[in-house]
Structure 1
Amino acid sequence: MDIKPVHKATCHCGAVELELKLPNGIVDPSRCDCSLCRRRGAIVGTVPLSDLKVVKGADILRLYQFGTKTAKHYFCSICGTYTHHQRRSDPNQYGYNVGCLEGVNPFELGEVPVYDGINHPSDRDKS
């Protein structure tokens, strides 16, 4: 049986708590330069939908969508912390805020690549 290490992630006030399965640690951390990500400045890791569970505060989370309304961005309605989002580029994945992981300092990750969200592949002309 494959036992996956479980990690806790919380918003700033603690009202929202996530449980993440990260068997390989933080995989492919990145930033994005789209209009929303530029403003929130979070480093984001990726997990399959099945590896992120809201264990506390589901009723406190709020949803924000813009543009194509494909991505689902979640944040705590009390403290405003962005916790995670269902990806637009792959709706079978969640991006999660690395800064919300308990015991992790995202500034210790070193250089983090920036994804070109301004020119998102879903926005390209399909004709």
Structure 2
Amino acid sequence: MASAEETRAPEPLKVLIVDDNPTNVLVLETVLSLISAQTVAAHDGAMAVEAFRASAFDAVLMDLQMPVMDGLTATRLIREHEQATGQARTPVLVVTANTLARDVEDSLSAGADRHIAKPVMPMALLSALAETTGTPLAVN
């Protein structure tokens, strides 16, 4: 017979959504609700870095083009913070309409783990989250 610990559902993922467009944030929150993820939204890269430094996240969904600070700069600062504090690497998935080969290369060079095209395909996003976090995701 399985113990209570073995049968307990895994903790929901805590995901930082970084996008300046409220509709895009809503779409991502809706997709993540399928796996009961907890979400925090930041509307520019500077807010994202501040939120990341203040709280632990299982993953970050990062847009590229935003006011105040772009997603590439924010991703680099997140990676610098992880190194400076000895924090484990948090998956950063760039979610953007910028899908040229150069855009993908720039994202990965900045420290992103994946580059996902908008409009977002829900199952592709959830699969990428499962792979990068190492968490089996059960869709509700």
What range describes the TM-score normalised by the shorter chain of this pair?
Answer: under 0.3
| Greater RCO (CA < 8 Å, at least 6 residues apart) | 1
Q: TM-score, normalised by structure 2?
A: 0.25
More helix by share: 2
Structure with more of its chain in strand, by fraction: 1
